[in-house]
Structure 1
């Protein structure tokens, strides 16, 4: 009986020590994994966040071209303008490609993030769309006009409305005005602020709306054909590649930029989007 108890105790002790040993090993592996994620990238692979639509299509092409340069790219697709920067800051991404400089600047200010612009990509001219009128000047008094509810794209839409001679903004309101900066609204238009990605789906309930090109294309619009008013090609809202400040000089990121801004990518953009997306290089 005593011999059986002694044997059982030895087995139990061995199992306990093995479990403790496994726990320490797992903890060490976790620490090592966390430590390798700090600082510069070094494994020849990038995880890139994009919004659905043209950005996704372009980066998929870049992924194909980058493979020939021994650079592996994983593409993660988002359906809004908030999460790509959050995911980048939290190191779920190495880069993102979806935003303009004014949007990044405002986002960083609002959330105190250390993200940086590492290169320009393309311009998506914002357009005004309507299922009710073909001419922006045919909008009736009191018409409901949709625009994005984030400060940067909302301001961009208001500047576009002014260029279309629908409103007049206060002098000095710059590129990021709000509806409070409308100085003249002679037709008493009602401005409806919505999540940018939702505006195409809400267009039937509006008289017209300013829609970002990526969401317009995703919804089936052809900006050069379907917009009743569109930004000129000298729009200041060029899109950019964004990285964390700590890794902005990484070799893999520079290689990504070289491939993105190549002649092959430019040709793909020109042939695919027929002027609705404009390369910045």
Structure 2
């Protein structure tokens, strides 16, 4: 009888230990499974408006086990370097022309996986109310990078401040100016600094994100927006979500793009950019 009770006790204890062990393994398995399910990606952005948009996208993809972290940059030069060296996984700040020029200069292979918006490039001034009032001797600030600078020159050509050569490339430079219709002085600055120069120049060509971040409202404050003639704004100026070529087929990235290209994103953009940005995926 005693042996029987002892044997039963041993079996019961072994059963309890087995159940505890299985329970712990189940918890560990569940934990591992959950860990495998959640994937974290860092997206590089430039403007405050972009951060608000991506915060909303992050909520949408969370249900798919995707966690988005944002890294905000203050200029246009470093987000692509960060993407190229693997510090971030995606970025969303540039248009196709800018990315293609970066790839050429840095010998990189960044690619687009989806459109975001077409942002207007605007001419702003604290000193004149109409671009037709630009006169000889005036100073005009433009971005100094090849693509935004080229687009700025196309803007000045459109309002007949300069005339570009007939064979000027898609992203022209100062050397592609055929003649100055108005004898102005063009000052090339980092795109992030053009808004700050408004007190010192007659007018400045400013990207929308920097204009909005500095308190300007493009539709209200710009004396000219190049998107007023949208047909003249080429596809190369459509903004994109960029990744390294080796990651372009990542299924998680496709989900991120889908979550971005929604009416909710348009709603946020309309509110924050005063309806200036035009969805490029439509």
TM bin (shorter chain): 0.7 to 0.9
Equivalent residue number for residue 119 of structure 1: 114
1:215 matched residue in structure 2: 210
Q: Provide the C-alpha distance between the structure 1 equivalents of 2:75 and 2:274, rounded to a whole number of angstroms.
A: 25
Tell me the number of residue pairs that the alignment of Structure 1 and Structure 2 aligns.
Answer: 241
Q: Does 1:52 align with 2:71?
A: no
Match of 1:84 among 56, 73, 79: 79
Partner of 1:275: 275
Q: Which residue of 2 aligns with 1:61?
A: 56
Contact residue 159 and residue 175 of structure 1 kept, 8 A: no
Number of the residue aligned with 1:17? none
User: Residues 158-197 of structure 1 correspond to what in structure 2 (within 5 A)?
Assistant: 158-197=153-192
Alpha-carbon distance, 1:43 to partner = 4.7
TM-score by length of 2: 0.82
Secondary structure, aligned partner of 2:216:
coil
How far has the Cα of 1:131 moved from its partner? 0.4
Measured in 1, the distance between the counterparts of 2:269 and 2:257 equals 15
- Tell me the residue number matched to 2:243: 243
CA distance in structure 2 between the partners assigned to 1:197 and 1:149 by the alignment: 10
| CA positional deviation for 1:160 | 0.5
Contact 1:146 1:206 in 2 (8 A): yes
How far residue 168 of structure 1 moved from its aligned partner, in angstroms, is 0.7
Secondary structure at 2:265 match in 1: helix
| Structure 1 residue 186, shift from structure 2 partner | 2.8
Deviations 1:65-113 (A, max 9, x none): 3224432100000011111011011111110000010110010000001
8 Å Cα contact 2:49-2:272 kept in structure 1: no
Change (3 A) 1:138 1:241: same
Structure 2: 5+ residue stretches without partners: 1-35
Does the aligned pair in 1 maintain the 2:217–2:274 contact within 8 Å? no
In structure 2, the partner of 1:13 is none
Q: Distance in 1 between matches of 2:154 and 2:37?
A: 43
Q: CA deviation at 1:264?
A: 2.1
Contact 2:163 2:181 in 1 (8 A): no
Local SS of the residue matching 1:145: strand
- Residue pairs, 1:90-105, within 5 angstroms: 90-105=85-100
How far the C-alpha of 1:54 sits from its partner, in A, is 2.6
Q: Tell me if structure 2 keeps the 8 A contact 1:269–1:279.
A: no
TM-score, normalised via structure 1 length: 0.82
Describe the SS at the equivalent of 1:147: strand
Whole-angstrom distance in 1 between the partners of 2:120 and 2:181 = 26
Per-residue deviation at 1:140? 2.2
Unaligned ranges ≥5, structure 1: 1-40
- Does the Cα contact within 8 Å between 1:45 and 1:252 map onto a contact in 2? no
How far is 1:117 from its partner?
1.0
- Structure 1 Cα separation of the partners of residues 111 and 209 of structure 2: 22
